[in-house]
Amino acid sequence: MLGKFFKKPSAELGDRVPPGQHLATGFPVLTYGDTPQISCDRYSLKVWGLVEPQSFTWDDLMAMPQQEFTADFHCVTHWSKLDVKWKGIKVLDFMKHLKVDEKAICIMEHCYGDYTTNIAIADFLREENFFAHTLFDEPLSPEHGGPLRLVVPHLYAWKSAKWINGLEFLAQEASGFWERNGYHRRGEPWAEERYSY
């Protein structure tokens, strides 16, 4: 895999690159299936399950506090990109609008195009997680998940759902698309939680 598009981390960046990862020079696109084309007019983010059901339009989301984020990005296929610059909405700010049942322990992330991925509530409700609509000062392109994606920097990037359109709150753990196909239920890069076996 080492070649034109990947380089070995330098010593000083080494402590930011998890084991088994190499630095990508560009920002690769990794999508299973087709890229949905969703305009902001059509976009909505719904919440259901163990939560008061609600649907947020693009305008609802843009009325929430907007912030800049810099985060490292680790794909389980062994590439990482450091210092990715995004803009968007902090998950904890978004969550102020929800009424979640205390029995919820897991969330299924749903997307346009039917991709899913599961995340524990404790991994979702972290200070550094955000919904992104801007990447390196440009509107987030469809390939990278525009108009809106989730970014969960502390887990492998398959948990960072592109074109996110739903959060389903669950009383027990469930498996999303990659988790049903052999990937780890949690996916913590520093522990190399890549596969479920």
- Nearer of residues 74 and 110 to Mo ion, judged by Cβ: 74
Q: Kindly state the smallest distance separating residue 62's Cβ from Mo ion, in Å.
A: 28
CB of 75 or CB of 92, closer to Mo ion: 75
Q: How far is the CB of 76 from Mo ion (least distance, A)?
A: 5
Cβ neighbourhood burial of 176 (10 Å; 0-12, 13-18, 19+): buried
CB atoms under 10 Å from CB of 137, counted, come to: 9
Strands (E), 91-196: 106-111, 116-120, 130-135, 138-139, 149-151, 164-170
Residue 110 touches which of Mo ion, ligand MTE, none (Cβ within 5-8 Å per kind): none
Which one of Mo ion, ligand MTE, none interacts with residue 74, CB within 5 to 8 A by kind? none
Give least dist CB 27 to ligand MTE, A.
Answer: 6
Q: Residue 101 is which amino acid?
A: D
- Cα angle: 76, vertex 80, 85; to 5 degrees: 125
d(Cα 112, Cα 166) in Å, to the nearest integer?
A: 9
Residue placing its CB nearer to Mo ion in the complex, 157 or 167 = 157
Minimal distance, residue 117 CB to Mo ion, in Å: 10
Shortest separation between residue 163's beta carbon and ligand MTE, angstroms: 5
- Integer Cα distance of 167 and 193 in angstroms: 23
118, β-bridge pairs? 108
Tokens 């890069």 belong to residue: 189
> Binding residues for ligand MTE, per CB under 6 A?
27-32, 75, 111, 113, 115, 144-145, 157-158, 160-163
90 vs 144, which CB is nearer to ligand MTE?
Answer: 144
Q: Residues 46, 165: contact at Cβ < 8 Å? A: yes
Binding mask 43-82 vs Mo ion (x if CB under 5 A, - otherwise)? --------------------------------xx------
Nearer to Mo ion, 124 or 158 (CB): 158
